[in-house]
């Protein structure tokens, strides 16, 4: 299982739909198999759910057949309610994965954010059977990674723990 991924709307998570679609089109033309897009989290924080949904839907349409990972930037969203709402908007737009963080903000992946995201996947009859979770940003030890594995197993079940449904973004673990 090997795929090439590239990131759209990165790292800023702006609400410019046209720019996000242009990024996505370049990614698709480059021949990647996966598109990561940063959810416009600042727009969500100020209550612009329509703008968030439009951007995510436009990116989904711009990469048909590819895996779409939506980066929620959970450290900026701060509350379980906002993380839950971001998760639902991403799922509604057709996300294949929910991802915690770009790693470019002060707060990265947290177990509480993971629980909110995994809870949203588990609560959705459509998403529960196929949407994955990726903990990314600030995971520096195998022990930290194992916590995310355990939470994922608890909320989505043991069969979820495959690369098609569960991933850890932790480049510092390579050492």
Alpha helices in the chain (DSSP H): 17-29, 41-45, 49-62, 74-77, 80-92, 111-123, 142-156
* Options 16, 23, 36, 92, the catalytic residue: 36
* Options 99, 104, 126, 164, the catalytic residue: 99
Active site residue 112: no
Q: Give the rounded distance of the alpha carbon of 158 from its chain centre.
A: 20
Residue pair 147/110 in contact by the 8 Å Cβ criterion: no
Q: Is the peptide bond before 11 cis (omega within 30 degrees of 0)?
A: yes
* Helical packing angle, 111-123 and 142-156, nearest 10°: 20
Name the token pair of 30. 């480059």
Active site residue 36: yes
* Options 23, 69, 96, 134, the catalytic residue: 134
**φ/ψ bin of 75: left (φ > 0), alpha (ψ from -120 to 50), beta (otherwise):** alpha
Active site residue 16: no
Residues belonging to the active site: 36, 99, 134
């Amino acid at each position: 299982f090997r795929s090439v991924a590239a990131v759209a709307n990165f790292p800023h998570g702006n609400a410019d739909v046209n720019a996000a679609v242009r990024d996505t089109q370049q990614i698709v033309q480059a021949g990647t198999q996966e598109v990561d897009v940063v959810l416009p989290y600042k727009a969500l924080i100020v209550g612009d759910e329509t703008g968030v949904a439009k951007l995510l839907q436009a990116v989904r349409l711009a990469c048909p057949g590819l895996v779409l990972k939506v980066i929620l930037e959970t450290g900026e969203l701060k509350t379980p309610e906002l993380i839950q709402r971001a998760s639902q908007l991403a799922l509604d737009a057709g996300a294949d994965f929910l991802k915690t963080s770009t790693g470019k903000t002060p707060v990265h992946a947290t177990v509480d954010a993971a629980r909110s995201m995994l809870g949203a996947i588990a609560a959705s009859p459509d998403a529960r059977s196929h949407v994955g979770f990726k903990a990314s940003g600030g995971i520096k030890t195998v022990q930290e990674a194992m916590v995310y594995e355990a939470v994922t197993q608890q909320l989505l079940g043991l069969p979820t723990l495959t690369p098609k449904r569960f991933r850890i973004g932790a480049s510092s673990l390579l050492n």
